[in-house]
Amino acid sequence: MARNRRPPPSDRDLGMDRPITRRDFMQGAALAGAGLAAVPLLAGCGHRTPPLRTAAQDQPGYYPPRLTGLRGSHPGSFETAHRLRDGQRLPAALELGEEYDLVIVGAGISGLAAAHFYRTAKPDARVLLLDNHDDFGGHAKRNEFEIDGRMRLLNGGTYAIESPRPYSDVADGVLRAIGIDAPALAKSTQKKDFYASLGLAQSVFFDRETFGADHLAVGYGTRPWADFLRGAPLSDVAKRDIERLEAGHVDYLPGLSSAEKKARLLRISYRDYLKDLVKVDPAVLDLYQARTKGWWGVGIDAISALDCWGTDMPGFKGLNLQPGSIPGMGFTPAGFADTGGSLFLHFPDGNATVARGLVRRLIPDAVPGSSVESLVTARVDYRRLDRDGEPVRLRLSSTVVGVHHDGAPGVAGQVRVAYVRDGRVLGVRARHCVLACYNAIIPYLVPELPAAQKAALHQAIKTPLVYTSVAIRHWRAFATLGTHSVYSPGGYFSTSRLNGTVDIGDYLSPTSPDEPNLICMTRTPCKAGLTEHEQNRIGRAELYATPFEVFERNIREQLGRTLAGGGFDPATDIAAITVNRWPHGYAPENNPLFDADVPEAERAYVRGRARFGRIAIANSDAGAGAYTDVAIEQAHRAVAELLGA
């Protein structure tokens, strides 16, 4: 097997010294936020307390979608919450004298949808949304670049309207209320076959550390296997095993009924299925190890074989399994197995367009324009989000640290909500509160919750992920190599793909490889061999500890190696980098390998989301599904609980 013996590139070769836009954010608002988080919090009240400053979002030019560097869970957004978790006592809140009908913790899709449902039921209601980030949308964040005079957009998190089951009337109703006719837009805006029309295909990058040599195999799924694997650093046995697995004609569980096969596949990992039943070469296991990371954030060692069948992974055709899920399957595969999934609609900034649409509905003059097309290109006026006297206010960089009833939960007429902003603990009051944040933080915000409910909420360990947006001046290397998307089983980033092509209104995707484009690179930090939750915990700690420079060096090195044959030069071709780090990413879903098979009503997410007096719990954790429709439906349930509907 040939081995590459080239010396590793220097930082200079990689372009680590180039003045691209990546750290501008660190010199601005984030640094201020990070600094504040490190000093003791000011006591809320007292005659020596300095007056409140003008908030960053109220200052001219405030426009976070354009910020680069470390985004997602950005510096300054999480430190207060971690102090709370670590038991630090906070000073008493400075009461602002503001009273609302509803305060919502978290301005992601679920929090924004909760405001929409509440205001629909009570059009005169006064609502305040508080979010710890410097931008709204939660995971549905927008990365906006200007490269050589062209606006280029990518999703910083939530990628698309796409779910394992069709959108319900509730979820679809929200889309329609904000002007999104998903079926019509799916037909008119998506250019799904654009790259294929240029002859570009999917590829696999075999790295020398895992497979012995660097090699890009182009044409996954489109070329005959023998052609695709020619030159790949794999033995003939491994190549034959891949072909056998992908063809999938063998029944690896002969003599069992479909139901018996499903029951067996539910309890073994896909890795064990490939190893022990399909009996593939060990190199094939390495090749498929990261295939499940996009859906679940962990490798095939931690996902059941039946769940992989439910998401169309190879190796099952010969088993002749009956269509449909069985109890115990994960949320995603069960949904796909039963319904085939929802329609697919990707906006250029992902579901940030949905978040913008909800903000426009709630605070109309903050988002210029009225059409769905203008949602994509509008420059949101952040100074209009939080104005005195307005019925809906959206306050950013505000971490909620306490939600308490003003008296006993059953009889209190109000809740007090305390939050930290600019180093100060501030207080507001409301008739109702929706917690549209993460389940795991709720016990710290509402310590009065019953112990069993807190224990159930603590079980929600979210999946950590990194979505990185890399702005490139042209994509000639991709065109030369004939690929638009690369799977890298051994890479720091598992996938690197050119931005999806969508034309909507004035926003036109690039058509020529000479134009600027964006690459999305995904990483899901985890540690194979442990339970899914243990892997998530380790990955989350890794994400918080990884500085931007480490991501940047890996981006440059990996793209340089993968695209070397196309002439890609990481030092000159990269224009900007935004690393969207999500230590609290996907909502946890049921995993049949590790979770007890208990009735729905006994599951932790159902027990955890119970209403508590004037406080209700929304967000996608509460529905145990990492999807936008779940986030919306949970908001609907939470508001209905509060209003007694």
Ligand X SMILES: Cc1cc2nc3c(=O)[nH]c(=O)nc-3n(C[C@H](O)[C@H](O)[C@H](O)COP(=O)(O)OP(=O)(O)OC[C@H]3O[C@@H](n4cnc5c(N)ncnc54)[C@H](O)[C@@H]3O)c2cc1C
Q: Where does this chain bind ligand X (CB under 6 A)?
A: 81, 105-106, 108-111, 130-133, 138-140, 157-160, 162-163, 399-400, 436-438, 441, 465, 467, 582, 585-586, 619-620, 626-628, 631
SS3 at position 217: strand
> 259: which residues sit within 8 A by CB, 6+ positions away?
322, 326
List the beta bridge partners of residue 253.
none
Task: Output the smallest distance, CB 472 to ligand X, in A.
Answer: 21
Name which of 226, 237, 228 is nearest 201 in CA terms.
228
Name which of 112, 55, 34 is nearest 632 in CA terms.
112
Task: Output the smallest distance, CB 75 to ligand X, in A.
Answer: 14
Task: Output the smallest distance, CB 582 to ligand X, in A.
Answer: 4
Is the distance from CB of 269 to CB of 301 less than 8 angstroms? Answer: yes
Q: Which is nearer to ligand X, 109 or 575 (CB)?
A: 109
Task: Output the smallest distance, CB 77 to ligand X, in A.
Answer: 7
Tokens 């569980």 found at: 253
Longest dimension (CA), the chain: 81
Task: Output the smallest distance, CB 404 to ligand X, in A.
Answer: 14
Q: Which is nearer to ligand X, 156 or 219 (CB)?
A: 156
Tell me how far CA of residue 25 lies from CA of 35, 74, 368, in angstroms: 14, 10, 25
Task: Output the smallest distance, CB 16 to ligand X, in A.
Answer: 26
Task: Output the smallest distance, CB 171 to ligand X, in A.
Answer: 10
Q: Which is nearer to ligand X, 262 or 421 (CB)?
A: 421
Q: Which is nearer to ligand X, 41 or 305 (CB)?
A: 41
SS3 at position 65: helix
Element (H, E) at 154: strand 150-155
Q: Which is nearer to ligand X, 137 or 491 (CB)?
A: 137
Is the distance from CB of 309 to CB of 321 less than 8 angstroms? Answer: yes
Task: Output the smallest distance, CB 626 to ligand X, in A.
Answer: 4
Give me the phi and psi of 182, to 5 degrees please: -60, -45
Name which of 122, 141, 180, 504 is nearest 172 in CA terms.
180
Q: Which is nearer to ligand X, 219 or 623 (CB)?
A: 623
Task: Output the smallest distance, CB 298 to ligand X, in A.
Answer: 14
Q: Which is nearer to ligand X, 33 or 106 (CB)?
A: 106
Is the distance from CB of 432 to CB of 491 less than 8 angstroms? Answer: no
Give me the phi and psi of 394, to 5 degrees please: -125, 115
> What residue ranges in 262-411 does DSSP mark as E strands?
392-395, 399-405
Q: Which is nearer to ligand X, 63 or 344 (CB)?
A: 344
Q: Which is nearer to ligand X, 135 or 307 (CB)?
A: 135
Angle (nearest 5°) at CA 413 between 409 and 419: 80
